[in-house]
Every structure is written in structure tokens, then in C-alpha cells.
Amino acid sequence: MHEDLKFNRIQDLTILGLLIALVAVSTMVIKIPTIATQGYIHLGDSMIFLAAIMFGKRKGAIAGGLGSAMADLLLAYTHWVLPTLIIKALMGYGVGIIADQESNGLVNLRNCIALIFGAGWMVLGYFVAGGIMKGSFLVAAASVPANLIQGFVGALLFIPIGAALKRTKYFGQHVLKQ
């Protein structure tokens, strides 16, 4: 195997592992319980947006799905692990497809649409999953306001974090999308 190809695979796996960990840790560290839904608001979505917009749809999907599902598992929300895996993986993939990874700036029309899509998809996904799991879409509707806050706060937090990361030497030298 060519040495550069081996290095790129190792580098990709390392980045992916770090992104999964960032999503999991940011989901677990700062969490605000929501009594109405027996869930919590967290900052993990900001890292899913970071993974998808900065590193592409594949890494966004894997980091979003596995990182979020791992957080649910470790925080004893085991009944949400599978729905979270699906919802957050599709969120990361969709954001990555829509996002403009070629532009130097993060705040552009495509990225704004990607962030709105990601937050909206997450709200819809948890509404549907909650309605199925609880047997009532009326009960699941109680999760919508907290999930809207979580999604849009995550989008707002991503902007300064992503802008700081975009200014690093790393993004000037490497092509990271897949």
C-alpha cells in the first residue's frame, strides 16, 4: 500500500474518531433536563453541524449518528439509542449534502439552509419517534419547543466554532470532504 494512502486512511479514521467523541461529549457535558419530555437540551447538535459542514456528509452522518447514540447509551436513555442513531445520522448526512464546503466563509445561503434543514429534521424526527414510542403524537408535541431551541442554539454555536476552525492551518492545506 502506498504510504500517502495509508496516512490518509489513518488521518481520516483519527478525524472521524475525534468527531464522534466531540458529538458525544458535547451532548453529555452540558445538558438541561426538560421535564415535559423526560429528555434534555444539549450542545451536541453544534458538533454535528461542525462535522457535516466542515468535513462532509459521510463524516457528518457517522459522527452525528454514533456520537449521539453513544451519549444516549452512556446517559441511560437506552430506549432512544436506535431512534437517535437514525435521526442524527440522517441529520449529519443531509446537512453535509446541502452545505457549501468550497466557500471560504461559513455564513452563506447554502450553509444557512443546511443549518435550518438540520434543526428542522431533528425536531421532526424526534416528534415522529416520540409519537410512535409514546403512542401519542399529542404527547410527542411537547418535545417540539425544546428541540427547536436545541437545534437553533446548536446552529448559532457552530458559527463561531466553525469560523475559528476554518482559520486554522489545517483547512488551508487539506481536502477533508467525503
Residue 148, domain extent: 3-28+36-173
128 pLDDT exceeds 60? yes
Over residues 92-118, the pLDDT tens digits come to 999 999 999 888 788 999 999 999 999
Look up residue 31 and give its DSSP letter.
E
What do you get for the CA distance between the two ends of the chain, in Å?
Answer: 20
50 domain-assigned: yes
178 domain-assigned: no
CB atoms within 10 A of CB 33: 10
Q: Which DSSP string do the residues of 59-112 spell out, in sequence order?
A: HHHHHHHHHHHHHHHHTT-GGGHHHHHHHHHHHHHHHHHHS--SSS-S-SHHHH
CB atoms within 10 A of CB 141: 13
27/41 Cα distance (integer angstroms): 8
Half-sphere exposure at residue 178, Cβ-oriented, CA atoms within 13 angstroms: 15
Query: Average pLDDT, stretch 108-132?
Result: 97
Residue pair 28/74 in contact by the 8 Å Cβ criterion: yes
146 domain-assigned: yes
44 domain-assigned: yes
174 pLDDT exceeds 60? no
Structurally, how many domains does the chain consist of? 1
Nine cell digits for residue 151? 437545534
Over residues 9-19, the pLDDT tens digits come to 999 999 999 99
Half-sphere exposure at residue 172, Cβ-oriented, CA atoms within 13 angstroms: 5
- Which CATH number does the domain housing residue 162 bear? 1.10.1760.20
Over residues 47-102, the pLDDT tens digits come to 999 999 999 999 999 999 999 999 999 999 999 999 999 999 999 999 999 999 88
